[in-house]
Amino acid sequence: MSTRPDILFPLFADLEKLAGVGPRTARLFAQMDVEKPRDLLFTLPYSGIDRTRRMSVTEVTPGEVATVEVAIGTHHPPRTRGGPYRVQVQDAKAHFQIVFFHARGDYLQKQLPTGQRRIVSGKIELFDGVAQMVHPDHILRPEEAASIPQYEPVYPLTSGLSQRMMAKAVAAALERAPDLAEWIDPALLAREGWPAWRAAVNAAHAPQSARDLAAIAPARQRLAYDELFSHQLTLALARAELRRGKGIATAGDGRLRARVLAALPYQPTGAQDRAMDEIAQDMAAPRRMNRLLQGDVGAGKTLVAFMALLVAVEAGGQGVMMAPTEILARQHLDSLRPLAEEAGVVVEVLTGRDKGAERKAKLEALSSGDIQILVGTHAVLQKGVEFRDLRLAVIDEQHRFGVAQRMELSAKGRGAHMLVMTATPIPRSLSLAQYGDMDISVLDEKPPGRRPVKTALVTTGRMDEVVAHLRRAIDEGRQAYWVCPLVEESETVDMTAAEQRFRHLRAVLGEGLVGLVHGQMPPADKDEAMARFVAGQTRVLVATSVIEVGVDVPNASIMVIERAESFGLAQLHQLRGRVGRGAAASTCLLMYQPPLSESGRRRLEILRETEDGFRISEEDLAMRGAGDLIGTAQSGLPHFRVADLERQAALMGVAQSDARKLLADDPKLQGARGQAARVLLWLMERDKAIRMISVG
């Protein structure tokens, strides 16, 4: 079924086919990403107005809405131009005024004829002690009263659209909603007590009280689940597609790994052992591995990745490790070299800086198989970079590389296995949304010997004390980072702040002891400044947040973060992770400018309480929301209209296991539930997934 099923055609027609929607209104809807009746069904009300009938306006508090029957009294046209037009009315207990601005008198005489009765509904306000209703939302004859809902839904709008236009368009779209066969697992449906799809859509648009607007209302939960399930089904199909792509069964004999483990001064953690086993098992299978290695700052991902690369070499193949920046690529090289020497394996680095004869020699050694492990940046993806037998591609800091680049890299080897690493702990619900096509290994233990970092809060008013503390530490031979504030989303302003702080510290601490790195520097200058700091020539490195990921200087034991309240939680956690890597006790000073906002205080307190990146990421999600957490633009996170990843995190896990089970039972989606799931994929516009089934 590679064409849209007939039953869905009415939902994919032009909006202009709906009653009351002309070309102008359709353009306004388009600004809200609403282009067809289907989009209206998934644009749900976000609040509601209680329009229950009352005897009198005296029964509501000023500022609330009253719906009452009134007898219409005298009209008082405005005395001055542009003044208010007032109509005296009386309900069962009280007199009040209905007020209009810029209204035509003849029109109002027709709407509210003196001596007749009308139902009016609108917000009641007190003005000079007199109750008044300004511009009522509804004015109806008593016999039409039933057309006012007791609880009226309120929709998101764009300028030019009114609630009335929206309600009318939604009602027309609801008439087109067909009865669809059920795609949710019957046991799950019964357990949750969810309505059928069409009943759920109708109920979500006709809330009876505020309770029906909550994310946990059965109709909303069901529609959210449909979105998450279609998303997970798409990822599960992509995963099945990838697994159909034959991998090269790559099993090592363990000799190189044994040499490295014997030379380590410590025992790997249980989490590292578990991850190494999971990866080795995946690589030994004839299908391609697609695994995410998620570990907190300092959880020892590099060792796990290197062991995986050694499996490839033991089996007679090659491995590649790709990092997002030159600084990180060279750093990976520095940390892998000593391990590679223990194993007797040739490791080389390839970056954009390799030119001419040197690059040519590296490429020849790579294609002949003399280089067994290559570390590099995007340069690895360039034409002319050929491996003799690539078995494993490791990608560091995945969120900087798109899925397309993942595919491009693994295409360098016919069916190369794929291991993606991230040091950003992501809450489970988000990692399933973002990496649901992958299997996940989590490193949730710190290697022995990593000392906790003492975190303290100080106000910017104590700057001089902090600098004095820094001077003493430098005299004792220690090194420090000084991270400058995020002034705004502008590298140039951030750079100015960093340069000013650099000049200040250099004047106080001594000419040659302070270095500077920021995002605007040429890469060669940045690398040189880093190299001087790594070598211990400079003692303090002033930086913008460019140093957040992966920089490793064991002797650096102090981290000062200026205006810490301007950073996000995850970023602060990453920055703090730059210290505490050596033998010395480490401190992280969070300098803030009072007064702190409520959320700013909460962020800094969470950091002081815990070093557990997974707990920090859950708190971050609760405080900031899913889009912000990964930066929506490059997050790879789908845009959900109904599902709320913060409040419905648990549903994502259920959706993933349900989608994987459905495909395991019915890989081609040909059974009754499989056919219904195909309709869901069309309904949710998951065309890519549909192509995978039709090809499969």
**Residues 144-176 pLDDT 10s:** 988 888 999 999 988 889 888 999 999 999 999
Q: Which amino acid is at 357?
A: A
Q: Is the pLDDT of residue 566 over 50?
A: yes
Of 193-202, 339-348, 621-630, 676-685, give the lowest mean pLDDT range: 621-630
Which pair of tokens denotes residue 631?
Answer: 């930066």
**Closest-CA residue to 4 (of 487, 679, 544, 480):** 679
Sign of CA dihedral 649, 655, 660, 661: positive
d(CA 503, CA 227): 53
Write the CA distances from 495 to 467, 480, 483, 547, 565, integer angstroms.
21, 19, 11, 14, 18
Are residues 618 and 606 in contact, defined by beta-carbon separation less than 8 angstroms? no
Give percent above pLDDT 70 in the chain: 89
Q: Is 213 helix (H, G, I), strand (E, B) or coil?
A: helix
Residue 227 CB-half CA count within 13 A: 22
* Contact present, 679 and 181 (Cβ < 8 Å): yes
Tell me the pLDDT band of 632, cut-offs 50, 70 and 90. Answer: very low
DSSP string computed for 461-517? GGHHHHHHHHHHHHHTT-EEEEEPP--SS-HHHHHHHHHHHHHHHHHHH-GGGEEEE
Using CA atoms, how far apart are residues 491 and 482, in angstroms rounded to an integer?
A: 17
- pLDDT at position 213: 92
Count, residues in the chain: 696
Tell me the three state secondary structure of residue 80: coil
Q: Angle formed by the axes of helices 23-30 and 163-175, to 10°?
A: 90
pLDDT tens for each residue of 487-507: 555 555 556 778 889 999 999
Mean pLDDT of all residues in 591-612: 88
Residue 9's SS3 state is helix
Pairing of strands 453-459, 439-443: unpaired
pLDDT, residue 409, reads 62
Residues whose CB is less than 8 angstroms from the CB of residue 428 and which lie 6 or more positions away in sequence, other chains included: 649, 652, 653
Q: Between 267 and 688, name the one with better pLDDT.
A: 267
Distance of CA 193 to the CA centre of its chain: 29
Residue 284 CA from chain centroid, whole number: 33
Residue linked to tokens 């210290």: 579
| CB-based burial label for 615 (10 Å; 0-12, 13-18, 19+) | middle
- Which tokens sit at 45? 């009300």
Q: Are strands 138-140 and 290-295 parallel, antiparallel or unpaired?
A: unpaired
User: Please, is 128 exposed, middle or buried when counting C-beta atoms within 10 Å of its C-beta (0-12, 13-18, 19+)?
Assistant: exposed
Amino acid at 129: G
For the four alpha carbons of 424, 428, 429 and 433, in that order, the dihedral sign comes to positive
Enumerate the β-bridge partners of residue 254: none
pTM of the model: 0.65
326-365: pLDDT as tens digits:
878 888 898 899 999 999 999 999 988 888 899 999 999 9
Question: What are the angstrom distances between the C-alpha of 694 and each of 137, 230, 255, 395, 678?
Answer: 51, 16, 45, 31, 10
Return the closest-CA partner of residue 67 out of 2, 6, 15, 118.
118
Pick the residue with more confidence: 57 or 645?
A: 57
The strand pairing partners of 98, in sequence order, are 87, 133
Residue 310 has pLDDT above 50, yes or no: yes
Q: For residue range 236-280, what is the model confidence (pLDDT) as tens digits? A: 887 777 666 677 889 999 999 999 999 988 889 999 999 999 999
Q: How confident is the model at residue 515 (pLDDT cuts 50, 70, 90)?
A: very high
* More confident position, 654 or 582: 654
Check whether 624 has a pLDDT greater than 70: no
Q: Find out whether the peptide bond into 595 is cis, omega within 30 degrees of 0.
A: yes
Q: Which helix (H) or strand (E) holds 418?
A: strand 417-422
In the 8-state DSSP scheme, what is residue 58? G
DSSP letter, residue 53: B
Domains and CATH numbers, the chain: 52-148 (2.40.50.140), 268-443 (3.40.50.300), 453-610 (3.40.50.300)
Q: Which of 179-188, 290-299, 570-579, 615-624 tops mean pLDDT?
A: 179-188
Phi and psi based region of residue 180 (left: phi greater than 0; alpha: psi -120 to 50; beta: remaining): beta
Q: Is the pLDDT score of 627 beyond 60?
A: no
Question: How high is the mean pLDDT of the chain?
Answer: 86
DSSP letter, residue 285 = S
Q: CA 614, 619, 624: angle at the middle one, nearest 5? A: 125
CA distances to 272, 403, 475, 499, 527 from 502, in Å? 40, 39, 19, 5, 17
User: What is the rounded distance in angstroms from the CA atom of residue 475 to the CA atom of residue 469?
Assistant: 10
Rama region for 441: left / alpha / beta (φ>0; ψ in -120 to 50; rest):
beta
**In the numeric block, which tokens belong to residue 629?**
């957490």
> Which comes out higher in pLDDT, residue 637 or 514?
514
Q: Over 90: is that where the pLDDT of 485 sits?
A: no
